[in-house]
């Protein structure tokens, strides 16, 4: 939760914003004054107001990613004063309110920084590497229409609850931006754990973790060195325990992929 | 005049879908790979249809303006998804879900479509559970349910307060699987700007690559639009900031009829507006009405008092008073108007006077603070983030806000528009919710359309199209569409006036909310219809869109969308003015019963109003599809 400043009076701040015209172009910080702000304004609404000012002056406004503005779509992505999604625990940038700043503050706003998230423009980065990891194995193969009755597969409440904790991930990439190794292990482990906790996820459990981890490596994300900056920055406070769970899964799957007997028949009728 | 043939199959209601599936044409497996299908949008309907059609063997191209399909605004649905599973043994059935939905829609939806929706609802839950969607469960490991507005059974499945997110991620994972398998070509950051029609059939789209600004042509054998609703016409809404109507509006301008645009849903439980800078209204899930009690002070002079200092006797639990049978769980349109009424009486709370209390103190006494936290913790957290108040200690303040649009592109029983080859799914079509949607039914419809309807019905169209007959993107129709888009872009960029796009969006929103919001009058609508063309002219004369067209340009994106919203707003008001009755979300003050309930006119307005574009500057043509109720009797909706 964000601590709220007690006064309801307006505040003025200076924004130091990363401006970069396009990919592979040099960027720089530019200062903007944001005056007479209502503390109940969200951080992104403040950027809207600043952008309208910039537009009226005939300049190009600051490009920033945003959409749902309620902390669930995972589009917004700034690093604010060095922290992905800014101060406050368990929130995305769109859930940050100006009441968490003080009059006269200097606020530094940058894009998420990571080798695998190249800057597209200003504060917007390319996070398609996450989609690639999902495409490699972030699913349970079930053709539409082929599912048994939902209550024919009971799932212990404890497992379902834990799976939901992991599934809460919004795919924003703050975990990567917060990590000194730009590791995506919190993101990947959340999906691996969610699906691995269900009986439905067992047939592909080994294949899934191996494919997702190898794609994660191929996309240039780093490894985990147990600093847990990822869970601290995560807007859904997803626990780093899932990383341990994934490492366990990965290890088991690696052994099994070597020692498990394999059928000589390849297709076996699978379409 | 458009030909509106509903293609509803004959026979008893409960057999129609089964019979239709047996009657419609099929495409053989070896031929499926010869057809290209474009799917625009990747929310529940878009992702589920793209994945399923690819599984069937069609070649699918998926387009989404977001940077990833997982961002679509289906993700923000909180409460749940309905299904007639009757796992609770409380008397639910396909018929009851059908009946509740028809009644909830105030008898303005198509019977056969709604019955099909209720039938396939049970398959959706099976499909999603198999995908690993973490639905809430009981200790025995079986699925849990909660109740929702407009129903007297517990049929809503949920995943904490993030049901939409989990269902969308399920569909996204199915889509990702097919992208990984090479069966779906995924185009992210790609916004559809025009529909291409060749020989009267929808055969392609023009998109703008939002990263490079490049205008691209894409041809296909059929086009599916699953691009969501148009609620951002009102500027302030619970929609995502980027949700827009451009795809359906451009399709309308290419000849697809837009049906019942005046059916807009106002959600009763949103966080009230706090200032002019506001960009978004946040919904507090309807599920809160299960345990929260809604009230305002009985006396006007109490409205600024601390709520906890107002004694029980001085509180008016107005929903419980007016609708004793359904109480706080009456449908959304009714709860919204009741809130407006008590605020209009001067009893609204909060600084603006536009708010009512949603109070959990009884629930906390009954369940304990932890019990309430377990059910609604994340919603209480959201409320705290936005308002800095704890709803465990003081009641929430809520007010209605635009949340969903029941109107949309007209479709037949096969979900095909009046333009052959153009299919419309989910919120973008008009078909299943009539004049008001019940809670937890949007997710149901999006997934029903995508997983279980379109995979069957699209074959009926494609079977009549020769494999390999789709036009080339070099065809003159594509060139002409591309040129018209380049023309619009150039015009937007060259005006360089004094006002940012947001200026016009805010003005449009205020105008629409004032004259075409929760309560509408003929004089107000006429006023709006006078002001909207002026606003449109002013927009084109004085808008300032900085930057260029050949790079990422968010101002340009917004400008195109707001230009379309202004035009759509006009059609919305025209439809609202023409529909001289009140029904569901469309409330005309002239047409009400003495107790303030909607007064329908089934004789003159028991039809779908499908508007057809006639050219710039010309009045659109009204086509009517009569609603033939074969099973249910249209009657007065009663929740008392």
Give contacts of B125 with chain A, Cβ < 8 Å: 150
pLDDT confidence of B46, banded at 50, 70, 90?
A: very high
- Give the distance from residue B306's alpha carbon to the nearest chain A alpha carbon, in angstroms: 18
CB spacing of B279 vs A65 below 8 angstroms: no
Give contacts of B140 with chain A, Cβ < 8 Å: 154
Tell me which residue of B442, B510, B418, B511 sits closest to B265, measured CA to CA: B442
Residue B585 in tokens: 């979300």
For residue A23, what is the nearest residue in chain B, using CA coordinates? Answer: B211
CB spacing of B123 vs A61 below 8 angstroms: no
Average of per-residue pLDDT values in chain B: 96
Alpha helix locations (H) across A81-127?
Answer: none
Reported CATH class of domain A128-259: mainly alpha
Tell me which residue of B146, B114, B131, B133 sits closest to B444, measured CA to CA: B114
pLDDT confidence of A267, banded at 50, 70, 90?
A: low
Range A117-128 average pLDDT: 98
pTM of the model: 0.96
DSSP string, B128-154: HHHHT----B-TTSSBP-B--TT-SS-
d(CA A130, CA A133): 5
In this structure, is the dihedral angle defined by the CA atoms of residues B577, B580, B582 and B588, taken in order, positive or negative?
A: positive
Range A16-36 average pLDDT: 97
Range A36-63 average pLDDT: 96
Does residue A96 contact residue A3 with C-beta atoms inside 8 Å?
no
- Which range has the worst mean pLDDT, A152-161, A170-179, A252-261, B224-233? A252-261
pLDDT confidence of B509, banded at 50, 70, 90?
A: very high
For the annotated catalytic residues of B, the residue numbers are 332
Q: Which of B52, B132, B169 sits opposite A198 (nearest CB)?
A: B132
Q: What is the pLDDT of residues B600-609, one digit of tens each?
A: 999 999 999 9
pLDDT surpasses 50 at B122:
yes
Give contacts of A9 with chain B, Cβ < 8 Å: none
- Residues in CB range of A235: below 8 A, 6 or more apart: A71, A85, A90, A91, A92, A95, A170, A172, A174
Range B496-511 average pLDDT: 97
User: Which SS3 state, helix, strand or coil, does residue A29 take?
Assistant: strand
d(CA A170, CA A183): 16
pLDDT surpasses 70 at A176:
yes
d(CA B165, CA B171): 10
Instruction: Please report how many Cα atoms fall inside a 13 Å half-sphere around the Cα of residue B340, on the Cβ side.
Output: 20
- Residues in CB range of A138: below 8 A, 6 or more apart: A191, A195, A208, A212, B173, B176
- Give the distance from residue B387's alpha carbon to the nearest chain A alpha carbon, in angstroms: 7
Range B61-77 average pLDDT: 97
Selected residue of A43, A68, A172, A242 to mutate for chain B interface (largest B Cβ count, 10 A):
A68
Residue B150 in tokens: 């407009």
**CB under 8 A, 24+ apart: contacts of A15-18:** A15/A50, A15/A107, A15/A109, A16/A106, A16/A107, A16/A108, A16/A109, A17/A62, A17/A109, A17/A122, A17/A123, A18/A109, A18/A110, A18/A111, A18/A122, A18/A123
CB spacing of A99 vs B126 below 8 angstroms: no
Looking at residue A2, its pLDDT comes to 40
Beta bridge partner(s), residue B404: B265
Tell me which residue of B410, B606, B417, B412 sits closest to B8, measured CA to CA: B412
B569 touches chain A (CB under 8 A): no
- Residues in CB range of A124: below 8 A, 6 or more apart: A63, A64, A65, A77, A111, B552
In the stretch 238-267 of chain A, residues with CB closer than 8 A to chain B read none
In the stretch 4-43 of chain B, residues with CB closer than 8 A to chain A read none
pLDDT surpasses 90 at A212:
yes
Percentage of chain B exceeding pLDDT 90: 91
Looking at residue A271, its pLDDT comes to 43
CA B257 vs CA A15, B9, B429: distances in Å: 47, 22, 10
Does residue A129 contact residue B164 with C-beta atoms inside 8 Å?
no
Selected residue of B79, B129, B145 to mutate for chain A interface (largest A Cβ count, 10 A):
B129
d(CA B281, CA B235): 10
Q: Which residue do the tokens 């109003």 mark?
A: B609
A184 touches chain B (CB under 8 A): no
Looking at residue B595, its pLDDT comes to 81
pLDDT surpasses 50 at A5:
no
d(CA B241, CA B557): 12
CA B571 vs CA A69, B151, B256, B532, B614: distances in Å: 28, 33, 14, 10, 12
Write down all domains in chain B, each with its CATH number in brackets.
269-401 (3.90.700.10), 476-607 (1.20.58.100)
CB spacing of A55 vs B546 below 8 angstroms: yes
CA B39 vs CA B46, B470, B569: distances in Å: 6, 16, 26
Q: What is the pLDDT of residues B250-301, one digit of tens each?
A: 999 999 999 999 999 999 999 999 888 999 999 988 889 989 999 999 999 9
Percentage of chain A exceeding pLDDT 90: 91
Give contacts of B452 with chain A, Cβ < 8 Å: 144-145
Looking at residue A266, its pLDDT comes to 60
- Which range has the worst mean pLDDT, A20-29, B209-218, B373-382? B373-382
Q: Which is higher by pLDDT, B546 or B285?
A: B546
Q: Does domain A11-121 have CATH number 3.30.2310.20?
A: no
Tell me which residue of B223, B172, B214, B161 sits closest to B191, measured CA to CA: B214
* Domain layout of chain A by residue ranges: 11-121, 128-259
pLDDT surpasses 80 at B4:
yes
B242 touches chain A (CB under 8 A): yes
**ipTM score assigned to the predicted complex:** 0.95
């Amino acid at each position: 939760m964000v601590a709220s400043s007690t006064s309801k009076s307006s505040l003025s701040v200076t924004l130091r914003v990363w401006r970069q015209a396009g990919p592979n172009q040099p960027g720089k910080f530019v200062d903007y004054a944001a005056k007479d702000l209502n503390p109940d304004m969200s951080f992104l609404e403040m950027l809207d107001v600043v952008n309208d000012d910039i537009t009226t002056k005939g300049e190009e406004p600051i490009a920033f990613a945003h959409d749902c503005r309620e902390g669930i779509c995972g589009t917004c992505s700034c690093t604010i004063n060095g922290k992905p999604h800014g101060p406050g625990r368990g929130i995305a940038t769109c859930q940050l309110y100006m009441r968490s700043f003080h009059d006269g503050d200097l606020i530094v706003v940058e894009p998420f920084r990571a080798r695998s998230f190249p800057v597209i423009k200003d504060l917007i980065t390319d996070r398609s590497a996450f989609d690639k990891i999902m495409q490699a194995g972030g699913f349970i193969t079930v053709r539409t229409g082929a599912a048994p009755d939902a209550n024919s597969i009971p799932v212990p409440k404890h497992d379902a609850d834990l799976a939901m904790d992991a599934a809460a991930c919004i795919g924003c990439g703050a975990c990567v931006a917060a990590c000194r190794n730009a590791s995506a292990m919190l993101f990947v482990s959340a999906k691996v754990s969610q699906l691995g906790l269900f009986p439905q996820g067992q047939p592909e459990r080994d294949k899934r973790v191996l494919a997702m981890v190898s794609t994660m490596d191929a996309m240039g994300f780093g490894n985990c060195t147990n600093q847990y900056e990822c869970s601290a920055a995560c807007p859904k406070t997803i626990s780093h325990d899932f990383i341990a769970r994934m490492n366990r899964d990965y290890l088991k799957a690696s052994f099994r992929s070597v020692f498990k007997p394999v059928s000589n028949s390849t297709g076996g009728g699978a379409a | 005049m458009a030909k509106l043939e509903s293609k509803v199959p004959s026979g008893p209601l409960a057999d129609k879908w089964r019979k239709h599936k047996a009657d419609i044409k099929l495409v053989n497996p070896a031929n499926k790979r010869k057809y290209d299908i474009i799917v625009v949008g990747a929310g529940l309907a878009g992702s589920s249809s793209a994945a399923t059609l690819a599984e069937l063997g069609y070649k699918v191209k998926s387009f989404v303006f977001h940077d990833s399909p997982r961002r679509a605004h289906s993700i923000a649905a909180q409460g749940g998804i309905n299904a007639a599973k009757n796992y609770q043994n409380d008397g639910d059935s396909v018929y009851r879900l059908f009946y509740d939905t028809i009644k909830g829609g105030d008898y303005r939806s198509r019977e056969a479509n709604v019955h099909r929706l209720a039938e396939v609802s049970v398959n959706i839950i099976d499909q999603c559970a198999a995908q690993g969607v973490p639905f809430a469960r009981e200790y025995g490991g079986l699925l849990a349910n909660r109740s929702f507005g407009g129903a007297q059974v517990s049929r809503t499945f949920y995943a904490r307060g993030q049901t939409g997110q989990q269902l969308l991620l399920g569909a996204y994972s199915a889509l990702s699987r097919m992208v990984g398998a090479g069966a779906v070509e995924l185009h992210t950051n790609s916004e559809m700007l025009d529909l291409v029609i060749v020989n009267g059939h929808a055969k392609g789209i023009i998109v703008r690559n939002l990263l490079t600004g490049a205008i691209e042509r894409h041809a296909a054998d059929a086009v599916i639009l699953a691009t969501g609703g148009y609620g951002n016409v009102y500027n302030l809404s619970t929609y995502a900031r980027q949700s827009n109507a451009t795809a359906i509006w451009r399709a309308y301008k290419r000849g697809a009829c837009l049906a019942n645009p005046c059916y807009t849903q106002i959600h009763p439980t949103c966080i009230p507006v706090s200032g002019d800078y506001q960009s978004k209204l946040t919904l507090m899930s309807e599920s809160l009405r299960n345990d929260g009690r809604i009230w305002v002070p009985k006396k006007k002079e109490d409205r600024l008092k601390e709520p906890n200092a107002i004694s029980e006797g001085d509180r008016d639990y107005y929903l419980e008073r007016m609708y004793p049978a359904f109480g706080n769980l009456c449908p959304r349109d009714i709860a919204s108007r009741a809130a407006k009424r008590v605020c209009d009486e001067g009893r609204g709370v909060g600084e603006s006077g536009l708010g009512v209390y949603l109070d959990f103190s009884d629930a906390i006494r009954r369940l304990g603070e932890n019990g309430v936290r377990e059910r609604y913790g994340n919603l209480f957290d959201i409320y705290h983030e936005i308002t800095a108040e704890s709803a465990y200690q003081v009641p929430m303040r809520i007010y209605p806000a635009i949340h969903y649009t029941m109107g949309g592109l007209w479709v037949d029983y096969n979900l095909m528009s009046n333009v052959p080859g153009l299919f419309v799914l989910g919120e973008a079509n008009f078909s299943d919710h009539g004049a008001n949607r019940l809670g937890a039914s949007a997710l149901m419809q999006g997934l029903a359309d995508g997983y279980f309807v379109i995979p069957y019905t699209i074959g009926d169209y494609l079977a009549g199209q020769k494999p390999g007959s789709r036009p080339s993107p070099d065809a003159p129709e594509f060139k002409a569409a591309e040129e018209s888009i380049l023309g619009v872009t150039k015009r937007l960029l060259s005006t360089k006036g004094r006002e940012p796009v947001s200026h016009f969006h805010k003005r449009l929103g205020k105008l629409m909310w004032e004259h075409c919001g929760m309560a509408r009058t003929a004089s107000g609508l006429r006023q709006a219809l006078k002001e909207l063309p002026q606003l449109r002219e002013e927009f084109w004369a004085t808008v300032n869109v900085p930057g260029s067209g050949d790079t990422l340009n968010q101002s340009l994106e917004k400008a195109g969308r707001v230009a379309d919203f202004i035009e759509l707003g006009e059609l919305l008001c025209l439809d609202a003015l023409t529909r001289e009755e009140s029904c569901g979300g469309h409330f005309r003050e002239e047409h009400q019963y003495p107790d303030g309930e909607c007064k329908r006119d089934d004789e003159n307005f028991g039809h779908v109003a499908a508007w057809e574009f006639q050219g710039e500057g010309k009045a659109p043509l009204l086509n009517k599809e009569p609603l033939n109720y074969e099973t249910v009797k249209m009657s007065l909706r009663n929740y008392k």
